[in-house]
Structure 1
Amino acid sequence: MTDSGAVLPWLVIRQDEGGNRYRVGRYATRAEAEQVADRLDTRRNGRLYVVERVGHAAT
């Protein structure tokens, strides 16, 4: 939860070829997070953007 009380349970994560993971953003809906990940995921330099729910790693 943020200070405003909004719940943002969906994360966009960038994972590079070395396995390092970086949170890019948090979103209210899965659809919104997937839209952002799709826009970012150009697969340049081995980067991969994935969507995960807070507390649940992608499989």
Structure 2
Amino acid sequence: MSDSGPVLPWLVIRQDDNGNRYRVGRYATQDEAQKIADSLDARGHKQLYLVERIGEPAL
């Protein structure tokens, strides 16, 4: 942990049918972020949930 707070490099992103992207949350580990994305995806909505690391180019 640094002076600016915990390091949370993993993002969960929601992408809608029009390609609009929204940050859902930031997480410490990829596994934690993936579990959140999977639980949101299991709700059956048409949005796509992605896990990305901060600083990596989006697909």
Count residues with an aligned counterpart: 58
TM-score, normalisation: structure 2: 0.83
Which residue identity lines up with residue 5 of structure 1 in the other structure? G
Task: Point out where structure 1 has 5 or more consecutive residues left out of the alignment.
Answer: none
Q: Distance in 2 between matches of 1:38 and 1:57?
A: 21
1:55 offset after TM fit, Å?
A: 1.5
Q: Distance in 2 between matches of 1:40 and 1:11?
A: 14
SS at match of 1:25: strand
Residue 30 and residue 24 in structure 1: after superposition, are their counterparts in 2 closer, same or farther (change >3 A)? Answer: same
SS at match of 2:31: helix
Where do residues 10-29 of structure 1 align in structure 2 (5 Å cutoff)? Answer: 10-29=10-29
Conservation of the 8 A alpha-carbon contact between 1:16 and 1:47 = yes
Task: Point out where structure 2 has 5 or more consecutive residues left out of the alignment.
Answer: none
What do you get for the CA RMSD once the two structures are aligned?
A: 2.1
